[in-house]
Amino acid sequence: MPDVITIFDTTLRDGEQSPGCSMDTDEKMQVAQALVDLGVDVIEAGFPISSPGDFEAVQKIGRVFGSKSTICGLARCRKEDIDRAWEALQDAEKVRIHLFLATSPIHREFKLKMAEQEIIRRTVEMVKHAADLMSQRADITRPNVEFSPEDAARTELDFLCEVVEKAIAAGATTINIPDTVGYATPTHFFNVISHLKKHVPNIDQCVLSTHCHNDLGLAVANSLAGVEAGARQVECTINGLGERAGNAALEEIVMALRTRQDYYHTATNIQTTRLWHASRLVSKVTGMTVQRNKAIVGQNAFAHEAGIHQHGMLQSRSTYEIMKPEDVGYIGENLVLGKHSGRHAFRDRVEKMGYTIDDATFERVYNDCIALADKKKSIFDADIAAIIESRAHHAPETWTLQSFHVFGGTGTIPTATVELHQSNGENSEPKITRDAATGDGPVDAIFRVLDRMTELSPVLTQYVVKSVSGGKDAQGEVLVEIEHDARRYHGQGLSTDILEASARAYLQALNKAHAGRGGTPIAPERGV
Ligand code: KIV
Ligand code: ZN
């Protein structure tokens, strides 16, 4: 039997820490659901002491998903951090506390101002404290404590061995080796893990783990080198999300281990057919688009354009294809729906694509797709996926777009006229409002009139237009990010008309800002 590598996902902690990628609790719950569906073994849900928002998210994720995956909370080697993490994790069935303390000479001297022996003393004391807390819970037979010597890749090997040995003796069950600044190279990282395996006498009492950052573009290669040297847990994020150049990408690690099982002789518990969906979701909620040629989940990852490749593929797919698109749940250009497709065929397709949606959402998605079939010749899987994602998690809105009209072109003053329905609570008729504004271009004019009608004046910080599939009649997807009252909100709009998609995306973000619903603080409210 191959060894099973524990997949520890830190999209919601290390990934979310990346500027512009913060998620509100509702978005974190959506991502946590996707991680559970993927079969992620350990979900690092946040850093509870860092902010009330992080605490709440860890608590909620623990309550809802803590019987399916192990839910982990991060803590510095401080009593108050550990107590707060433990408090947040109380209701989760399967739990882990993750402690970290830097060990490299640079961090010791400039950040911590602590001597080596003090670092060891603090590590031992705090690992024991976390293990003691956990062992007080009747259902926990073995405390699940992870310790990370931060910046391990730049730590003297002798000192690293000493810290690791003492942390294990104090009760750490996982030792994670972070390459915090993405400094390692594959052979270097292999040697660090091998050295620990060889020189730490009690190393067999813990699981060794990798946590590689991507500053030199080597995070995945370094993690795999760690596995080759004997690490049995990999820490990673969906789409490689994370500070600076990001973390090791989960989808790349998992597919490398699977595709090259002949070499690594390991397996994971990941349902690889859910990778594509998880990637799209994380991209949508963070507004971080995935580059087209990104390995595994990029739109071009399975496109074979070159004639010579196409010729080979026609003879046998294995000539140029090392993974099957369906193995990663690729949603591409399959033609799936005509105007006359029935509900049954449609539901079947939706389920094959890996979506589970309730009946009411199904009806709305089906009707949207039938309406779309009137506008464009062919409906692709990608169209259905985009509609499902725009329909799911749809909260009630104060304003809905009824109609709009845009006037523009060379030598004219772009003007937008918009009609909105403004809801006045459940029991009264919506109010109809109309207004018009000019702008630099049609999109600017639409955004200006919407600002005036909603009496909000946010700053637009991101505006992205993407085509959902190929073809001139393709649906356009617009993603916007706005800042309002020191919070950041995302909106998404979908239409074959990109001006309408723009209006819908912007209005969705305005609705969220108006309700103060969700959104994330611009300056992280983290106290650490
Ligand atoms: O990169 C790092 O060192 C970390 C630790 C908290 C594990 O994220
Ligand atoms: Zn990190």
Q: How far apart are CA 100 and CA 248, in angstroms?
A: 19
Residue 316 pLDDT class (50, 70, 90 cuts): confident
Lowest-confidence range among 278-282, 353-357, 362-366? 353-357
Q: What is the pLDDT of residue 471?
A: 83
Whether the CB of 368 sits within 6 Å of ligand 1: no
Q: What is the pLDDT of residue 304?
A: 67
Mean pLDDT (the chain) is 92
Q: Is the pLDDT of residue 334 over 70?
A: no
Q: Is the pLDDT of residue 525 over 60?
A: no
The larger pLDDT score, comparing residue 139 to residue 472, is at: 139
Whether the CB of 179 sits within 6 Å of ligand 1: no
Nearest to 403 by CA among 495, 273, 318: 495
Q: What is the mean pLDDT of residues 71-100?
A: 98
Q: What is the pLDDT of residue 394?
A: 64
Are the CB atoms for 476 and 498 separated by under 8 Å? yes
Q: What is the pLDDT of residue 306?
A: 62
Best mutation site among 81, 180, 212 for ligand 1 pocket (most ligand atoms within 8 Å of CB): 180
> Phi, psi (5° rounding) for residue 112?
-90, -30
Q: Is the pLDDT of residue 285 over 90?
A: no
Beta bridge partner(s), residue 237:
249
The larger pLDDT score, comparing residue 525 to residue 126, is at: 126
What spacing in Å lies between the alpha carbon of 269 and ligand 1's midpoint?
Answer: 24
User: Residue 81 is encoded by which pair of tokens?
Assistant: 């951090």
Best mutation site among 11, 13, 14, 243 for ligand 1 pocket (most ligand atoms within 8 Å of CB): 14
Residues 6+ apart with CB under 8 A from 509: 458, 480, 481, 482, 489, 490, 491
Residue 527 pLDDT class (50, 70, 90 cuts): very low
Nearest CA to ligand 1 atom 6: 100
Lowest-confidence range among 34-43, 196-205, 364-373? 364-373
Residue 335 pLDDT class (50, 70, 90 cuts): low
Summary count for the chain: helices (H), strands (E): 17, 19
Residue 390 pLDDT class (50, 70, 90 cuts): confident
Percentage of the chain exceeding pLDDT 90: 72
Whether the CB of 180 sits within 6 Å of ligand 1: yes
Q: What is the mean pLDDT of residues 141-156?
A: 98
Degrees to nearest 5, angle at CA 68 with 5 and 28: 95
What spacing in Å lies between the alpha carbon of 43 and ligand 2's midpoint?
Answer: 14
Which amino acid appears at position 513 of this protein?
Answer: A
Nearest to 495 by CA among 478, 514, 476, 517: 476
Q: What is the pLDDT of residue 220?
A: 98
Strands (E), 254-368: 266-267, 335-337
Radius of gyration of the chain (CA): 25
**pLDDT tens per residue across span 193-247:** 999 999 999 999 999 999 999 999 999 999 999 999 999 999 999 999 999 999 9
Q: Is the pLDDT of residue 512 over 50?
A: yes
Whether the CB of 100 sits within 6 Å of ligand 1: yes
**pLDDT tens per residue across span 464-486:** 998 888 788 899 999 999 999 98
User: Residue 424 is encoded by which pair of tokens?
Assistant: 């006045």
Are the CB atoms for 357 and 365 separated by under 8 Å? yes
Atom of ligand 1 nearest to the CA of 213: 1
**pLDDT tens per residue across span 400-440:** 999 999 999 999 999 999 999 998 777 678 899 999 999 99
Whether the CB of 178 sits within 6 Å of ligand 1: yes
Best mutation site among 8, 99, 100 for ligand 1 pocket (most ligand atoms within 8 Å of CB): 100
Burial 33-55 (b: 16+ CB within 10 A, else e): bbbbebbbbbbbbbbbbbbebbb
DSSP string, 256-287: HHHHTHHHH-EE----GGGHHHHHHHHHHHH-
Residue 388: CB atoms within 10 A of its CB come to 20
User: Residue 69 is encoded by which pair of tokens?
Assistant: 């995956």
Q: What is the pLDDT of residue 314?
A: 72
